[in-house]
């Protein structure tokens, strides 16, 4: 097997591009895809301050490493969510990577930010824990990034993530979310914009990249995410990809170009700000989701660990 670029021995085959690469040209391919995403979606510039949300998983670890290598100004932010060994291991890996590479990564604790760890959520909250966790992460990343003077919050979402979220929203006609499916969400006031520079790369390509570059990452999935629908969506999409070359990229980028415009007017809800914390919210009560959960938890006597 020969590298498509230099004709030396290839180590990696990418079916979806009908390409084979040696290590050097695979790394170049990864950088090129990231650069293309940044430029085509006008994500950020070299002089901007990027806050990279680092979970310790392969995608966000690759993301901060690649952007740093490409000369962008990055600061990592890791939130220890308090999910037993999973969170301890994630924090350890992130700290070690930061020490060894010199890339700054700040560690925060949900217990200190919110007053509770994820594992402490009891019924009825425990049933929708992943969704609550996602909202808490988004909320605190916004606050932390504003405090750090970030111009953009960068997450490690890749093409498989984007396709599975899109598939879920289409299957259940989640019209209010369909227009938001975009690799850049503009910020407002104090809130930085949110960007996904790995959007042109797949799970598999990023796995090969971190292994090749010997970037440490947490192999395990979050133990609370078992049975999440997104896992099934990814399986279906992976199956389709084995039968129809490049179907994931076709699905996502065709959606952005041809279908998303139809949904753009659907989300015109009035922008309001939470009366407790001042954070943007679309809730009718005038209190944002995180403040209302906080109120509910404080009002209940359900305080022991789940």
Q: Which of residues 257-286 bind Zn ion (CB under 5 A)?
A: 274, 276-277, 279
Per DSSP, which regions of the chain are E strands?
A: 12-14, 19-21, 49-53, 73-80, 105-109, 152-154, 184-185, 193-195, 272-273, 280-281
Q: Which residue is nearest to ligand AMP (CB)?
A: 156
Site residue total, ligand AMP (CB under 6 A) = 14
129 near ligand FES, judged by CB under 6 A: yes
Residue 157 to residue 134: CA distance in whole angstroms: 13
At closest approach, how far in Å is the CB of 183 from ligand FES? Answer: 21
Report whether 183 contacts 44 (CB < 8 A): no
Q: Which uninterrupted H or E stretch holds 101?
A: helix 84-101
180 near ligand AMP, judged by CB under 6 A: no
Which of ligand AMP, ligand FES, Zn ion, none does 129 bind, CB closer than 5 to 8 A by kind? Answer: ligand FES
Nearer to Zn ion, 136 or 291 (CB): 291
Which of ligand AMP, Zn ion, ligand FES, none does 53 bind, CB closer than 5 to 8 A by kind? Answer: ligand AMP
Helix 84-101 × helix 58-69 angle, to 10°: 10
**Maximum Cα interatomic distance, the chain, rounded to a whole number of Å:** 68
130 near ligand FES, judged by CB under 6 A: yes
Which of ligand FES, ligand AMP, Zn ion, none does 78 bind, CB closer than 5 to 8 A by kind? Answer: ligand AMP
> What tokens appear for 116 in the block?
């509770």
CA neighbor of 209 nearest in space, from 16, 21, 7, 19: 21
Site string for ligand FES, 101-120 (x = CB under 6 A): -----------------x--
Virtual torsion, Cα 289, 294, 141, 157, nearest 10 deg = -60
Give me the helices (H) in the chain, please. Answer: 23-40, 58-69, 84-101, 110-114, 129-147, 159-171, 175-178, 203-212, 229-243, 247-254, 260-263, 289-299
54 near ligand FES, judged by CB under 6 A: no
Which of Zn ion, ligand AMP, ligand FES, none does 157 bind, CB closer than 5 to 8 A by kind? Answer: ligand AMP
34 near ligand FES, judged by CB under 6 A: no
Nearer to ligand FES, 33 or 158 (CB): 158
293 near Zn ion, judged by CB under 5 A: no
Binding residues for ligand AMP (CB under 6 A): 53-55, 59-60, 77-79, 81, 134, 137, 155-157
């Amino acid at each position: 097997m020969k590298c498509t670029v230099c004709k030396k021995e290839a180590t990696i085959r990418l079916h979806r591009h009908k390409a084979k690469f040696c290590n050097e040209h695979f790394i170049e391919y990864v950088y090129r895809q990231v650069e293309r995403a940044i430029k085509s979606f006008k994500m950020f510039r070299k002089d901007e301050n990027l806050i990279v949300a680092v979970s310790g998983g392969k995608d966000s670890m690759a993301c901060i490493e690649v952007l740093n290598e490409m000369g962008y100004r990055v600061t990592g932010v890791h939130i220890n969510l308090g999910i037993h060994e999973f969170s301890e291991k994630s924090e350890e890996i992130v700290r070690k990577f930061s020490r060894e590479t010199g890339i700054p990564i700040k560690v925060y604790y949900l217990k200190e930010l919110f007053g509770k760890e994820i594992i402490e959520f009891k019924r009825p909250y425990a049933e929708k824990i992943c969704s609550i966790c996602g909202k808490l992460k988004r909320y605190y990343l916004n606050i932390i990034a504003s405090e750090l003077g970030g111009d953009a919050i960068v997450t490690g979402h890749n093409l498989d993530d984007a396709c599975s979220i899109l598939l879920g929203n289409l299957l259940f006609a989640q019209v209010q979310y369909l227009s938001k499916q975009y690799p850049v969400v503009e910020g407002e006031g104090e809130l930085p914009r949110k960007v996904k520079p790995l959007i042109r790369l797949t799970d598999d390509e990023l796995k090969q990249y971190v292994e090749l570059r010997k970037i440490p990452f947490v192999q395990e999935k979050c133990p609370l995410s078992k049975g999440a629908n997104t896992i099934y969506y990814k399986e279906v999409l992976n199956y389709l990809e084995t039968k129809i070359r490049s179907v994931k990229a076709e699905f996502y980028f065709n959606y952005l170009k041809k279908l998303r415009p139809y949904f753009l007017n659907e989300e015109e809800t009035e922008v309001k700000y939470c009366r407790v914390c001042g954070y943007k919210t679309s809730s009718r009560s005038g209190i944002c989701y995180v403040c209302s959960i906080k109120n509910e938890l404080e009002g209940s006597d359900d305080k022991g660990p789940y």
